[in-house]
Amino acid sequence: MHDEETHSLATSRTAPRVDTIELVRIDPAGADREELIAFMTGEVFPFHVGIRPTRAQVEEGIAAGRFRDDDNDSFWIDHVEHGRIGFFRLEEISDGAPLFDLRLASVWRGRGLAKDVLATAADHVFTTMPEVDRFEGQTREDNRAMRRIFDACGWVQEAYYREGWPVEGSEPLGSVAYSILRRDWETGEVTPLRWS
Ligand SMILES: CC(C)(COP(=O)(O)OP(=O)(O)OC[C@H]1O[C@@H](n2cnc3c(N)ncnc32)[C@H](O)[C@@H]1OP(=O)(O)O)[C@@H](O)C(=O)NCCC(=O)NCCS
């Protein structure tokens, strides 16, 4: 699928509220530590900069606060029927426009579940963070499934960083940036982007 086609598939409405997904806050240095390490090291993340995180990297991330500190907060993604399906993290919270990291366990990928996760994440951010008016996401240009989900949820692509995504052992790829506005989340209407 070409970018123009992806763009033309963008919906003019944000995702409806769902009740299939619960975000369960993770205690990364305490009760959830081993499960978090097992999840991160037991999966492959083909579109992340670190495709196969090692135990040492995850432990270092926990110690550095990358799963919970003033800027980061992490959650298990629990599905009402399937149970625990993945991991979700908010990043750069103190900037006032958080980003996210979404990782379904491989067994739950390709089943159309992430759309409800992203809708629930927007509900969480705009409900619990009254100072936040923009919720942002970035992904690699060839992550078609993620980009399709952004479109389906009424997020708007705002940037395309050419060669902005480092790829281990290969040339860099593009990075694409999307966001949803609080206003759009409230009204269900997508504010269009005008380049000029
Ligand atoms: C990326 C991810 C969140 C997508 O969630 P998912 O629930 O597995 O998404 P699906 O595979 O069901 O695909 C969602 C949509 O994209 C479409 N799609 C999937 N792969 C595609 C491809 N290669 N080309 C075009 N469309 C594609 C699907 O057909 C589906 O469209 P539909 O809603 O019209 O049916 C999930 O696979 C994941 O966690 N991957 C690993 C981590 C990751 O890459 N996270 C994103 C970084 S922020």
Bridge partners for 88 per DSSP = 75, 102
Mean residue pLDDT of the chain comes to 94
Helix or strand or coil: residue 192? Answer: coil
23 phi and psi angles, rounded to 5 deg = -95, 120
Q: How many CB atoms lie within 10 A of CB 122?
A: 22
Our CA angle for 185, 46, 31, nearest 5°, is: 70
Instruction: Please check the confidence at residue 159 and state whether its pLDDT lies above 60.
Output: yes
Q: What are phi and psi of 83, to 5 degrees?
A: 80, -145
Ligand 1 nearest-atom number relative to CA 114:
7
Q: Is there a contact between 7 and 147 (Cβ–Cβ < 8 Å)?
A: no
Residue pLDDT, tens place only, 160-170: 999 999 998 99
pLDDT grade for 10, boundaries at 50, 70 and 90: low
pLDDT tens readout for residues 74-104: 999 999 999 999 999 999 999 999 999 999 9
Amino acid at 179: S
The pLDDT value given to residue 8: 44
> Which pLDDT does position 4 carry in this prediction?
45
Look up residue 181 and give its amino acid: L
Instruction: Say what the pLDDT of residue 18 is.
Output: 84
**By the 8 A CB rule, do 101 and 91 touch?**
yes
Cα separation, 155 vs 174, in Å, equals 18
pLDDT at 13: 87
The rounded Å distance from CA 131 to ligand 1 centre is 30
Domains assigned to the chain: 3-187 (3.40.630.30)
Helix extents (H) in 94-153: 114-128, 144-152
Mutation pick for ligand 1 pocket among 109, 113, 153 (CB with most ligand atoms within 8 Å): 109
Q: In this structure, are residues 142 and 3 in contact, taking their beta carbons and an 8 Å threshold?
A: no
